[in-house]
Amino acid sequence: MIHTKIPQAILGLDLGQSEDPSAMALLLNINQTISPHNWIDSTHPCHNTWQLTSTKVFPLGTAYTALAQQIHHTLERFKQQHPATPITLLADATGIGRPTLEILYKELTSRGGQPKARLEGIVFTAGATHSKTGHPALPVDLFHVPKLDLIETLVQSIESRRLTVIPNLKDRQTLEAQLKSLRYANSRQTGQTTIHVDTNADNPQIANADLVMALAMATWRMKTLYPNPTPTPPQRLPGF
């Protein structure tokens, strides 16, 4: 018998500007334990994966107020299906994204009761260090993370097969095209490695990497919450 639970869900939201759309990616932490009984304990094998179950690219020019309302509806539907699963909304807080957090927070708390999700922000940086601060006006954590680290965490999760995608994902082809369009480059001035999108005028799907960034954000946060377990070193006998 396979016992399945979802201990965490993260909705990554990459905010677009005037020339690129906003996008979201819903990532679930799927925990499956195999047991011959209708109960489980620590002796039964456990398999843990992160599953991309839903994506959406919003029409170009969608107002942030309308975006917040649609995100809220998505969170409400999720809580109806998984009332016991905590969900985090991790939103782009780079540049215009920081005041947009105020719009999202207002929407999440506008209907009274407990908010459907914990709101957090992430600021893309070009450096090599990570930091955590607070929003100046909201009870919201802000994570400052190099953009390259977000992408590398995503790639490593795909290569290790810890991150999976449901077979019928609507935007699967777009996501794959955007992943293949990413290119690394070294700056001669700073010596730092950067990443950019190799755009293709004949393929509007890879004019930017909105879906990739939304998924990379969710994957990075999931990894910080559920890091890969460190193997316990073997115990050596005294004198060896």
In a domain, 236, yes or no: no
Domain that holds residue 140: 2-165+215-225
Q: For 60-104, write each residue's pLDDT tens digit.
A: 889 999 999 999 999 999 999 999 999 999 999 998 777 899 999
In a domain, 174, yes or no: no
Beta-strand runs (E) in the chain: 2-14, 23-34, 46-57, 87-92, 118-125, 131-134, 141-146, 163-165, 182-186, 193-197
In a domain, 240, yes or no: no
In a domain, 49, yes or no: yes
Other residues' Cβ atoms within 10 Å of the Cβ of residue 27: 27
In a domain, 180, yes or no: no
In a domain, 209, yes or no: no
Chunked mean pLDDT (size 10), the chain, 240 residues: 78 87 94 61 67 94 93 95 95 86 93 87 88 92 93 91 92 89 70 63 64 95 80 40
pTM assigned to the model: 0.84
Instruction: Count the domains in the chain.
Output: 1
Beta-strand runs (E) in 36-175: 46-57, 87-92, 118-125, 131-134, 141-146, 163-165
Three-class SS of residue 22? coil
| pLDDT score, position 70 | 96
In a domain, 192, yes or no: no
Beta bridge partners of 134: 141
In a domain, 201, yes or no: no
φ and ψ at residue 7, rounded to 5 degrees: -75, -10
| pLDDT score, position 190 | 60
Instruction: Report the alpha-carbon distance of residue 102 to residue 97 in Å, rounded.
Output: 9
**Residue 88 and residue 79 in contact, taking contact as beta carbons nearer than 8 Å:** no
